[in-house]
Amino acid sequence: MAGVGIKSSYWRGFRDGVPFLAVIIPFGMLFGVVGTEAGLEIYETLAFSIVVIAGAAQFTALQLLTENAPTIVIIASALAVNLRMAMYSASITPHLGALPFWKRAIVAYFLVDQTYATAMIDYETRPAQPVEDKFRYFLGVLTPICPPWYFATLAGALIGEGIPAGLGLDFALPIAFLAMIGPMLRTPAHRIAALVAVILALGFAWLPFNLGLMIGAVGGMVAGARAEVALGLEP
């Protein structure tokens, strides 16, 4: 029966990850096109997606590269955009922290917005499932998300300038974040954290090196934590 449970966990995750293909494919192709148009070779564009595997940070770094920004600025900006990954790691550790090191390494590499958001919803819905089932679910979620990201990047790089500029593939990023954030705003504390983060990020958008994003992220976490205490929701 354990094997049946593990298998079903994987396929449940796979099923939940499939809808993200509608965003992953055009978004990955867009990066491939933009990468080659910015002067990267096809293999460099693909390697970018494999090594970094973080769309928002990739676009940020690529834009700064085209502007001939200093290397330290590019690195700092990409790290600022990816600061949320540290929060994801801390949040998912209670669920997957007991895994062996090599499995935690897999989770760390494939921990992106879509896999995190989908997995956390499942873990909170089924808190009693064994850690191995949670890991198999995570593997299921990433299967239709991460490998297609690589292939879409390669396809976009190969197509290059053949994709019309007015096609509008850049719709994918805002839709992806809205689709991920919406279902997670279930409590007043979640909504307060999101609101404060947005206000701070926009209010400090004038700061260099994307520091406004970092201020928004930290402020949102503090506001969410304080809201949980004030509302009596702390563990």
Count of beta carbons in the 10 Å neighbourhood of residue 93? 12
Q: Which domain holds residue 217?
A: 185-235
Structural domain contains residue 47: yes
Q: In 10 A of CB 35, how many CB atoms?
A: 25
Please indicate, yes or no, if residue 174 is contained in any of the structural domains.
no
If one counts the domains in the chain, the total is: 2
Same domain, 124 and 37: yes
Same domain, 217 and 128: no
pLDDT tens readout for residues 35-87? 887 778 889 999 999 998 887 788 878 877 777 777 777 787 777 777 778 88
Does 144 lie in the same domain as 200? no
Residue-wise burial string across 194-223, b where 16 or more C-beta atoms lie within 10 A, e elsewhere: bebbeebbeebeeeebbebbbbbbebbbeb
Q: pLDDT (tens digit, 9 = 90+) per residue, 131-171?
A: 999 999 999 999 999 999 999 999 988 887 565 655 555 55
In a domain, 173, yes or no: no
pLDDT value for 19: 93
Q: Higher confidence at residue 235 or residue 177?
A: 177
- Residues 190, 87, single domain; the answer is no
**Cα(53)–Cα(68) distance, rounded to whole angstroms?**
22
Structural domain contains residue 41: yes
182 pLDDT more than 50: yes
Q: Do 156 and 189 sit in the same domain of this protein?
A: no
Is residue 1 over pLDDT 50?
Answer: no
- Per-residue pLDDT at 3: 46
In a domain? residue 18? yes
More confident residue, 181 or 217: 217
Give tens-digit pLDDT for 192-227.
Answer: 888 998 899 899 988 876 677 778 878 887 888 888
pLDDT of the residue at 170: 55
Q: How many CA atoms lie within 13 Å of 42's alpha carbon, on the beta-carbon side?
A: 10
For residues 68 and 146, membership in a common domain is answered with yes
Please give the single-letter amino acid code of residue 213: L
Residue 131 and residue 35 share a domain: yes
Is position 85 within any domain?
Answer: yes
Q: Does residue 180 lie in a domain region?
A: no
Q: Looking at the structure, do residues 100 and 147 belong to the same domain, yes or no?
A: yes
Whether residues 155 and 198 share a domain: the answer is: no
**Same domain (yes/no): 120, 204:** no
| Model pLDDT, residue 60 | 75
pLDDT at residue 110 greater than cutoff 50: yes
Is 160 among the domain residues?
yes
Question: Is the domain of 38 the same as that of 153?
Answer: yes
50 shares a domain with 159? yes
Q: What was the pLDDT predicted at 85?
A: 85
